[in-house]
Every structure is written in C-alpha cells, then in structure tokens.
Amino acid sequence: MLLDAGRPAPALDSLDRFLRRHADDPEALAERGRALERLGRHVDAGRSYSRAIAQYRAPATPDPDLFLERARALAAAGRPEVDEAIRGLDEGIAVLGPLVSLGLYAADLEVRLGRYDAALARIDRLAKLSPRQESYLVRRGAILLAADRREEARQAYAEALADIARLPEERRAARAVQDLEAKARAGLAGDAGDAPAGVEAARGGAP
C-alpha cells in the first residue's frame, strides 16, 4: 500500500522489519527491490531481486517478470551493471526457456552496448522458434541501422513487407501488423529515426 501510494521510503522500512523475521520470503524481497528502485538505488534493487529469485527451488520457478525487473534495475545503473543485467536475463532463459520477453530485452541491451552481432544472434534464435517472421525482421532492420549497415537493414525491412503482404487480409488488418508495416516502410524509406529508438519501437510486435 505504501508503494502504491508513492511512498517508497516507509515501504522499505516496513519491508526490512518484516524481512528481519522472514529473511527468505521471495515476495517481500521482490517488493523490497521495487521500493529500492523507486528510491533510485538500482544496484541494491538488483541484489534484492536476485535474493528473491534465489529462493525458488524446483519444481517452482520464479515469475519471468522478476528477471525483467532485475535487468531493468541494473541497466538503469549503467555499465558495468548492463553486462550483469544481460547475464541475469540469460539466467532466466536457462531456467524458464527461450521466453520472447527476456530475449528481446537482452537484445536491446546488447545494442545499448554496441554489440550488434550479439543482438542479431539473439533475434535470430528467437525467430527460429516462431512461424511468423515479420516482427523479427523489423527488429533486425532496426539493429542493422544502429550498426550503420544500411543495405542489410533495407533488405530486412523489404523481407518483412513481403511477409506481411502474404498474410491473409484479416491478419493484415490487425493494428499490430499495421504498425509493423508502417515501421518497415519507414525503415525502407530511410525515415526510421535513430536506430536504437527503432529497436525499442519494434518491441511488442513479436508473436
């Protein structure tokens, strides 16, 4: 309730009192991470999320959002914590399988570090698991633009448009597909804006 009311400092005090009696409670540790993050203590938040994740024992598994929250907290702290954030996402993938949400955010962070080939490899691995390729091709184009590999980016956007054109009419009418088509056309026309923003904009369309 204190967190919802925008009062992270007293929320943290309350959580710390509870955790002195129940040190391994994963929900309290996760909430503590959220309170710390709102206070701008990103590294400490990441550690609290890590403690929450560590409490789960097979066959129980952490919620995927815990891995995402930890990664976002660490990424907000800057490098070298961005590297740690990527390692944490890979830990989540190892535990939970190749979840799209974890893989896409890891690819975004690779771009942030200028590791474009690593980002492309992550997108390609996810694409192999999907029968639909257009969203991944749009993301590929954005990453290639970030790497200043413009001809390859144009090819990826063109392939995305070709895939979209082959979809049934009712699928092409869907808002998500129309948004992807607009991004691909903008990228093909060289009007995609700065490439890292294009990477973020392509998120959410993946099947």
pLDDT of residue 196: 42
Q: Is residue 109 within 8 Å of residue 86, measured between CB atoms? A: yes
Distance, in Å, from the CA atom of 201 to the CA atom of 188, rounded to the nearest integer, reads: 15
Instruction: Summarize the confidence of residues 134-143 as an average pLDDT.
Output: 97
What's the pLDDT band for 191 if we cut at 50, 70, 90?
low
Higher pLDDT, 201 or 188: 188
Helical axes 134-146 vs 100-112, angle rounded to 10°? 10
Mean pLDDT of 122-127: 97
Rounded mean pLDDT, 71-82:
94
The answer to whether residue 163 scores a pLDDT higher than 50 is yes
Q: Which helix (H) or strand (E) holds 205?
A: none
Question: Could you tell me if residue 203 is left (phi over 0), alpha (psi between -120 and 50 degrees) or otherwise beta?
Answer: beta
Contact status, residue 41 vs residue 21, Cβ threshold 8 Å: no
Euclidean distance between CA atoms 40 and 73, whole angstroms? 9
The sign of the torsion formed by the CA atoms of 144, 197, 111, 126 equals negative
Checking if the pLDDT of 199 tops 80, the result is: no
User: pLDDT grade, residue 192 (50/70/90)?
Assistant: low
Is 39 or 191 the better-scoring residue by pLDDT? Answer: 39
- pLDDT for 194 equals 45
Tokens at 19, concatenated: 């955790």
Query: Scanning the structure block, which residue is given the tokens 């903008």?
Result: 186
Share of the chain above pLDDT 70, in %: 92
Select from 145, 102, 108, 143 the least CA-distant residue to 126. Answer: 102
Question: What per-residue confidence (pLDDT) applies to 87?
Answer: 97
Going by C-alpha positions, the residue among 107, 101, 200, 117 that lies closest to residue 152 is 117
* Cβ atoms of residues 125 and 131 within 8 Å: no
Closest C-alpha among 94, 93, 70, 91 to residue 82: 70
State the span(s) of the chain assigned CATH 1.25.40.10.
1-97
The pLDDT value given to residue 132: 93
* Tokens, residue 35: 């309170």
The mean of the pLDDT values for the chain is: 91
User: Among 33-42, 117-126, 127-136, 183-192, where is mean pLDDT lowest?
Assistant: 183-192
Higher pLDDT residue, 64 or 58? 64
Structure tokens at 55: 């409490």
Q: Provide the sign of the torsion angle of the four alpha carbons 52, 54, 59, 62, taken in this order.
A: positive
Mean pLDDT of 8-33: 96
Residue 118 has pLDDT above 60, yes or no: yes
Please check the confidence at residue 169 and state whether its pLDDT lies above 90: yes
Q: 1-97 has which fold?
A: 1.25.40
